[in-house]
A and B are shown apart, each in its own frame.
Chain A
């Protein structure tokens, strides 16, 4: 994939991720109304699983940001996640965001890209998603 194609893919992922996290973490969905119906349904099962308990996600997000203070901005987090996603050799948006994030989690664990937050062994991607949810809430 060319650098330009990777860049635009990363930007698209960032938007989709932010939207998904925003929709789950906020009771008011100002951005959601503007989305197409198809995009509204792009909710990764892992996000749902993780963020269905907002308190847990917030606690883990807080712990992640305390350990990695240089990622304490939405843009920084989105960038990290989207960069990881864009580097994958898969054709997104052909693959659903749900599947993409699921695969990223699997790959993180396989490559030992884990963080230990409050003792929990988590994929770095899911930890960043929790941090993102905390910042966007």
Chain B
């Protein structure tokens, strides 16, 4: 059942067994797991079913350190949470991601990959990831796109799957199910302002809720699960400081620290020896009903020997100038626009103009072919011009002879489009850094809660790892005769390129450790020192990992749900 919290009687109290704060990927997963259970669950979601600017502005904050996106742009405060603008790339974590590695301070999870694996395939299905297969060799048996023939063995190509855009939103997929769930009630437009504890501060008793309309009420619950996102989870613990002045679970000043992202930036280029080097595997491409995208990284053996963090290299080819120019012509733009609109079953007002552009371009070829010939034969003059052209001139001559649409289509469908160079976009699994953190700021939001200040920081090993990974890849490319690599990073490991960006992955701010001096939650995601308060989502990750967070956080939510169900027996 869905209820608009703004209709709840002011100053009333609602009783529940389980109270889940947040209806994003983790909150919705938990709610679904509790829907057939003999206990009453409430989900409190700040937003509604659609984006609302006033609600979204509750996410606003400031940032220092490495420039970051506006905090109210990188997250979505509505039912379904950030899955409503999720990029859809999925790759599971590896065993090494969970290990304490001597060269990476603060690394190591209290659980192993084996503790999560039983939940991974269910999480994969929940996230609408197409295939249970992640093995490169298996995919290569079906994939027309080969991997780079690197021989040295220090690097490896890997596979990620991309969830189609239409299937990414948890709101779209699971709203109906949650609405029908008898034992789960979802309150929309319900902002939690405080998690309340008993006088001793050892147990939570419930939460306080406020709506932007002014309505306030309370929820009493036996168990509270914080599932508000990788940044907001920390904020909720910090603002709940009536009994514990430093915030809940913060007796060792860990809440909000170790903010992790997957930073990415363009770090180099490859100039291929052969301009038709096949790199299609490293672009999003389809095999059967699955969308795959490949990338390159170091082997685990190399990472250990070199003592690096994991770096993922994505390849973005820059095609020949002629091909790029053909894509920008009005004719090709019209074709792509119309195809997009017709797919959405929409007829644009300027339909006629676009059709005219396309027809005029297609008629270009008419002037180059012999009229009334039984087969499409180019006129002798056109043929002579094409045969006499040098390689570079041919690229210019083809569009003029056959039209831009035909040229672009031929390049995409039948020819290996000549590449000028390949840009290398690197993604880092960074060293956990306690000085990278979120904390409460001085400004207040519309509900009177302190806004957050983010200070994003990385470590010298992160940048060194990018540079060393590219050196190794460059050596392998040279050895295989495939081309040369240029690293576009300076030698200062304490500074970061201007284009450094995050991936909207917010992790680490309530990290997991069995030792309360090193973590906020234990291996079961229970907040240390508070027996009935749990945290779900990527804020519990002690390391960012070589995989992507969504499938893992859903796996952990499933695991937590099992733990709670066992507890509630």
A residues with a Cβ closer than 8 A to B are: 49, 105-106, 108-110, 112, 114, 116, 118-123
Residues of the B chain whose Cβ atoms lie less than 8 Å from the Cβ of A110? 152, 475, 479
Q: Which 8 A-B pairs have the closest CB atoms?
A: A121-B474, A109-B479, A109-B478, A119-B486, A119-B487, A109-B475, A120-B486, A121-B485
Q: Interface residue count for B (Cβ, 8 Å)?
A: 19
Q: A109-B475, A114-B474, A114-B475 are in contact. Are A120 and B481 (CB under 8 A)?
A: no
| Inter-chain contact A114/B268, CB cutoff 8 Å | no
Residues of the A chain whose Cβ atoms lie less than 8 Å from the Cβ of B485? 120-121
Minimum CB–CB distance for B315 against chain A, Å: 16
User: Taking the complex as formed, is B236 at the interface, i.e. its CB lies under 8 A from any CB of chain A?
Assistant: no
| Inter-chain contact A114/B471, CB cutoff 8 Å | yes
| Inter-chain contact B481/A106, CB cutoff 8 Å | yes
Residues of the A chain whose Cβ atoms lie less than 8 Å from the Cβ of B470? 121
Q: What is the number of contacts between chain A and chain B, taking CB atoms within 8 Å? A: 46
A and B contact pairs by CB, cutoff 8 A, 8 listed: A106-B479, A109-B475, A119-B488, A119-B489, A120-B484, A121-B477, A121-B485, A123-B478
B456-495 residues at the A interface, CB under 8 angstroms:
470-472, 474-479, 481, 484-489
Residues of the A chain whose Cβ atoms lie less than 8 Å from the Cβ of B486? 118-121
Minimum CB–CB distance for B151 against chain A, Å: 8
Minimum CB–CB distance for B471 against chain A, Å: 6
State in angstroms the CA–CA spacing of A123 and B470 once bound together: 14
B residues with a Cβ closer than 8 A to A are: 152, 268, 273, 470-472, 474-479, 481, 484-489
Residue of A nearest to B154 (CB): A112
State in angstroms the CA–CA spacing of A116 and B486 once bound together: 8
State in angstroms the CA–CA spacing of A118 and B487 once bound together: 8
| Inter-chain contact A114/B487, CB cutoff 8 Å | no
Residues of the A chain whose Cβ atoms lie less than 8 Å from the Cβ of B479? 106, 109-110
State in angstroms the CA–CA spacing of A106 and B472 once bound together: 14
Q: Which of A49, A105, A121 contacts B471 (CB 8 A)?
A: A121
Residues of the A chain whose Cβ atoms lie less than 8 Å from the Cβ of B476? 109
Residue of A nearest to B486 (CB): A119
Name the prevailing secondary structure of the A interface residues. Answer: mixed
| Inter-chain contact B475/A119, CB cutoff 8 Å | no
State in angstroms the CA–CA spacing of A121 and B487 once bound together: 8
Residues of the B chain whose Cβ atoms lie less than 8 Å from the Cβ of A105? 478
Residues of the B chain whose Cβ atoms lie less than 8 Å from the Cβ of A116? 471, 487
State in angstroms the CA–CA spacing of A116 and B477 once bound together: 14
| Inter-chain contact A112/B475, CB cutoff 8 Å | yes
| Inter-chain contact A122/B488, CB cutoff 8 Å | no
State in angstroms the CA–CA spacing of A122 and B479 once bound together: 10
> 19 more A-B contacts (CB under 8 A) besides A109-B152, A116-B471?
A105-B478, A106-B479, A109-B476, A110-B475, A114-B471, A114-B478, A118-B486, A119-B268, A119-B486, A119-B488, A120-B485, A121-B470, A121-B471, A121-B474, A121-B478, A121-B485, A121-B486, A121-B487, A122-B478
Residues of the A chain whose Cβ atoms lie less than 8 Å from the Cβ of B484? 120-122
Minimum CB–CB distance for A4 against chain B, Å: 32
State in angstroms the CA–CA spacing of A109 and B484 once bound together: 11
Residues of the A chain whose Cβ atoms lie less than 8 Å from the Cβ of B481? 106
Minimum CB–CB distance for B223 against chain A, Å: 55
- Residue from B152, B475, B477, B488 having most chain A Cβ neighbours under 10 A: B475
Residue of B nearest to A107 (CB): B479
State in angstroms the CA–CA spacing of A71 and B94 once bound together: 46
State in angstroms the CA–CA spacing of A57 and B474 once bound together: 18
Residues of the A chain whose Cβ atoms lie less than 8 Å from the Cβ of B489? 119
State in angstroms the CA–CA spacing of A115 and B283 once bound together: 30
Residues of the A chain whose Cβ atoms lie less than 8 Å from the Cβ of B472? 112
Residue of A nearest to B475 (CB): A109
Residues of the A chain whose Cβ atoms lie less than 8 Å from the Cβ of B273? 49
Minimum CB–CB distance for A110 against chain B, Å: 5
Residue of A nearest to B481 (CB): A106
State in angstroms the CA–CA spacing of A120 and B484 once bound together: 7
Residues of the B chain whose Cβ atoms lie less than 8 Å from the Cβ of A112? 472, 475
- Residue from A114, A116, A121, A123 having most chain B Cβ neighbours under 10 A: A121
Residues of the B chain whose Cβ atoms lie less than 8 Å from the Cβ of A121? 470-471, 474-475, 477-478, 484-487
State in angstroms the CA–CA spacing of A62 and B484 once bound together: 18
State in angstroms the CA–CA spacing of A49 and B481 once bound together: 12
Residues of the B chain whose Cβ atoms lie less than 8 Å from the Cβ of A118? 486
State in angstroms the CA–CA spacing of A106 and B151 once bound together: 11
Minimum CB–CB distance for B425 against chain A, Å: 16
Minimum CB–CB distance for A130 against chain B, Å: 12
State in angstroms the CA–CA spacing of A122 and B489 once bound together: 16
State in angstroms the CA–CA spacing of A49 and B489 once bound together: 26
Residues of the A chain whose Cβ atoms lie less than 8 Å from the Cβ of B477? 121
Residues of the B chain whose Cβ atoms lie less than 8 Å from the Cβ of A120? 474, 484-487
Minimum CB–CB distance for A64 against chain B, Å: 14
Minimum CB–CB distance for B153 against chain A, Å: 10
Residues of the A chain whose Cβ atoms lie less than 8 Å from the Cβ of B478? 105-106, 108-109, 114, 121-123
Residues of the A chain whose Cβ atoms lie less than 8 Å from the Cβ of B152? 109-110
- Residue from B476, B478, B485, B489 having most chain A Cβ neighbours under 10 A: B478
Residue of B nearest to A50 (CB): B484
Residue of B nearest to A113 (CB): B475
State in angstroms the CA–CA spacing of A26 and B477 once bound together: 30
State in angstroms the CA–CA spacing of A119 and B475 once bound together: 13
Residue of A nearest to B269 (CB): A119
Minimum CB–CB distance for A123 against chain B, Å: 6
Minimum CB–CB distance for A117 against chain B, Å: 9
Minimum CB–CB distance for B147 against chain A, Å: 18
State in angstroms the CA–CA spacing of A22 and B152 once bound together: 34
State in angstroms the CA–CA spacing of A109 and B479 once bound together: 5
State in angstroms the CA–CA spacing of A28 and B39 once bound together: 92
Residues of the A chain whose Cβ atoms lie less than 8 Å from the Cβ of B268? 119
State in angstroms the CA–CA spacing of A49 and B268 once bound together: 21
Residue of B nearest to A120 (CB): B486
Residue of A nearest to B151 (CB): A110
State in angstroms the CA–CA spacing of A89 and B273 once bound together: 27
State in angstroms the CA–CA spacing of A118 and B474 once bound together: 13
State in angstroms the CA–CA spacing of A8 and B89 once bound together: 59
